[in-house]
Amino acid sequence: MGVTIFACHHAAPETGTDTPLFRTLLSGIAAAGTLTDLQGENIAGRARFCEMRHQYFVWRNLAHGLDHLGFEHYRRAFLIDPQADPLLAPARQHCARAGASHIAMPVSALTAHQAMRQAFTAEATEAARRALRAHDILFAEAIHAPVEAQFKANHPEAAALWDIFAQRLDAHWGLVFPRRHVTFPADWSGYRNMVVMRSEFFCEYMALIMPVLLGMDDEFPQAPPRMWGHMSERALGAYIMQKRMEQPLLRVRQWPYLVFNQPG
């Protein structure tokens, strides 16, 4: 049993990060030497799920072999540098001083960041694993607002679909958690579909949301692009709240992350 963080890609990267801790995962395409969801049980052809295609593949094919697992985006990465790499000193200072969830980084720094991860010693890798295992759930960012209003403000064209999703998820929620304390939608949510979880929590979360979303994908083939991915990231916080009600001592933490989107 181990810890793996999957970097979700929809196009083959020029360079990837494949180490004992980090794994590049492609969706919908194949590339020599790179893990892809075009195998096993998958939903690689369902583009509206965006990065949930990667999570579905891991859920159905790989999760049983891990005690913790997580997901990043191809240009968003958790701030993990157990050897305090100088490259990330400004990022550490920014997130510590400002209490920020993330910091923007130049795209040109992505290659150096990947090389830094590739160079992790065995001791650094084990230190990172210990830090990750010390938590039950790590999330990247929060929405501190009523989730329904936040979604509809960002996706007004899908307001009616949101209402259907919320109703159906809440009904399914009742089947999964008959004595649930929190209904959906919640007034707080984890965000970005970036998360590190104990494997049993991840599998439970996926079993909660995927039947609802797969049914809607079949029923609404004209839904906007990436819609089920956008909806699913709002469900994460409701799940975390439910687990904290069930287990008051659950170890949950927001972990800062990097966004490689600045030119230069």
In tens, the pLDDT along 223-258 reads 999 999 999 988 888 888 888 888 999 999 999 999
Is residue 198 over pLDDT 60?
yes
Taking residues 69-89, what's their average pLDDT? 94
In tens, the pLDDT along 138-168 reads 999 988 888 888 999 999 999 999 999 989 9
Average pLDDT, the chain: 91
CA–CA distance, 256 with 239 (Å, rounded to integer)? 20
CB 67 within 8 A of CB 197: no
Taking residues 92-116, what's their average pLDDT? 91
Q: What is the pLDDT of residue 185?
A: 59
Gyration radius of the chain over CA positions: 18
Taking residues 79-104, what's their average pLDDT? 92
Q: What is the pLDDT of residue 15?
A: 76
In tens, the pLDDT along 38-65 reads 989 999 999 999 999 999 999 999 999 9
pTM above 0.85, yes or no: yes
CB 66 within 8 A of CB 1: yes
Is residue 183 over pLDDT 70?
no
Identify the residue with better confidence: 175 or 95: 95
